[in-house]
Amino acid sequence: MDICNNLKISTVFDYNIMAVKESNRKITIGTKEWADSNVNCYLGCSNDCRYCYAKKMAIRFKRKTAKNWRIMVPNQKNIDKGYSKRKGRIMFPTSHDITDASLNNCIIVLKKLIRSKNEVLITTKPRFNCVLEICRIFQQYKRYIQFRFTITSINNKILGFWEPSAPSFEERFDSLKYAYKQGYKTSISVEPFLDKDPFILIDILRPYITESIWIGKMNYIGHNIAPDIEKKYYTFIREINSKDNLLKIVKKAESYNDLIRIKDSIFNSLENYQ
Ligand code: SF4
């Protein structure tokens, strides 16, 4: 049976989730999937986010261990090879980040992608030095680039727990402002949102965004094996992923017109709550 026909109107807000989901989809035609293909040039990611799905998969398929995920190993084949023009937009990178250590190789790959006139969505938890260098090098090619900066909280304590080696909020915000002022297309991923009210963060970032803001929830929260001192973070995430809070977010996003896109991770959870 078609799940859409089976959904009830939410009693919390008298609010039809599927209607919003469908209108969200209409708004995001062509960008819903973010990109048509991905490119990566490292295995592992030094940010070592606790919710990382790429890490989970790498461990499952024995490409990495929980301990050495944070050690980024260059994928020389992907660095050395050529890249022709692909159909649609390319997301780079998706399973590692652009860090001081990986910057040079990432620029080699980016140059090849852009020389072939590919449209590239650069997804990163931005380090200011890296953004500065990318902006400098690709100044003449900015029409091929859109930055999508992942900024998930304004609270550095929360960031430090979930994304232990990723940049602070201030560094990510400075990177966004810089790229925007340099005339690049900018967008934000607030996925997973880590504050109860992600709109406090969004309102701060909004003046520097030329494209879109995406909100998603944490899918892979992990096990309850954390020491007592860490349990409050897991409890908090489960609280902010409650049906009531997700509904509040979906409803509030509507007042931002087309700027905010709700990820399927939120809609899928709300469907499961029905
Ligand atoms: S930045 Fe992305 S790839 Fe890197 S550890 Fe975090 S979630 Fe995983």
pLDDT for residue 35: 94
Query: Per-residue pLDDT averaged across 152-166, rounded?
Result: 97
Question: In the chain, what are the domain boundaries?
Answer: 31-241
The residue nearest atom 6 of ligand 1, judged by CA position, is: 49
The pLDDT tens digits of the residues spanning 109-137 come to: 999 999 999 999 999 999 999 999 999 99
Q: Across the chain, what does the average pLDDT equal? A: 88
80 CB neighbour count, 10 Å cutoff? 13
C-alpha 245: how far from its chain's center? 20
The pLDDT tens digits of the residues spanning 7-24 come to: 333 333 444 555 555 555
The pLDDT tens digits of the residues spanning 142-156 come to: 999 999 999 999 999
Ligand 1 lining (C-beta closer than 6 Å) = 45, 47-49, 52, 54-55, 95-97, 125
> Looking at 2-16, 91-105, 185-199, which range is the least confident one?
2-16
Question: Which structure tokens are listed for 183?
Answer: 């005339």
Which residues lie below 8 Å from residue 242, measured CB to CB, with a gap of 6+? none
58 CA to middle of ligand 1, Å?
Answer: 12
The pLDDT tens digits of the residues spanning 56-100 come to: 999 999 999 999 999 999 999 999 999 999 999 999 999 999 999
pLDDT for residue 17: 54
Cis peptide before 192 (omega within 30 of 0): yes
Mutate to test the pocket of ligand 1, among 50, 97, 217 (most ligand atoms within 8 A of CB): 97
The pLDDT tens digits of the residues spanning 206-234 come to: 999 999 999 999 987 766 566 777 889 99
189 CA to middle of ligand 1, Å?
Answer: 13
Which residues lie below 8 Å from residue 170, measured CB to CB, with a gap of 6+? 156
pLDDT for residue 93: 97
pLDDT for residue 6: 30
The residue nearest atom 8 of ligand 1, judged by CA position, is: 52
pLDDT for residue 27: 39
Of all residues in the chain, the percent with pLDDT exceeding 70 is: 86
User: What atom in ligand 1 is closest to the CA of residue 124?
Assistant: 1
pTM, to two decimals = 0.89
pLDDT for residue 271: 85
Q: Give backbone dihedrals phi and psi of 122, rounded to 5 degrees, phi first.
A: -90, 110
Assigned fold of 31-241: TIM Barrel (3.20.20)
